[in-house]
């Protein structure tokens, strides 16, 4: 393989990698714009903090639901049609 062939192969690989990097950057920009639009998050740190908050709220809601369901089942377990 000549030096020119090596150079051409390297250039082709470089162009391909640059396209992949550009595609990844475009995807990241799109996702960051979506985070901003849907959740008013300016960056990933804000998004992660909001996720923690949502997970905490979900756990509280699930606990409240289980408690309400247990109460309902207890009150209505002996009901006859």
The pLDDT, as a whole number, for residue 59 is 98
When pLDDT is averaged across residues 73-81 and rounded to a whole number, the result is 82
- Look up the pTM and report it: 0.67
Rounded to an integer, what distance in angstroms lies between the CA atom of residue 39 and that of residue 26?
Answer: 20
The pLDDT, as a whole number, for residue 79 is 73
State the maximum Cα–Cα separation within the chain, in Å, rounded to a whole number: 90
Q: Do the beta carbons of residue 8 and residue 1 sit within 8 Å?
A: no
Going by pLDDT thresholds of 50, 70 and 90, the confidence category of residue 81 is low
Rounded to an integer, what distance in angstroms lies between the CA atom of residue 32 and that of residue 25?
Answer: 10
């Amino acid at each position: 393989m000549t030096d020119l062939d090596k150079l051409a192969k390297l250039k082709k690989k470089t162009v391909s990698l640059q396209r992949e990097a550009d595609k990844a950057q475009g995807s990241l920009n799109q996702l960051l714009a979506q985070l901003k639009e849907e959740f008013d998050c300016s960056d990933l740190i804000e998004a992660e903090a909001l996720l923690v908050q949502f997970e905490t709220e979900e756990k509280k809601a699930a606990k409240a639901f289980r408690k309400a369901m247990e109460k309902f089942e207890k009150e209505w377990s002996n009901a006859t049609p």
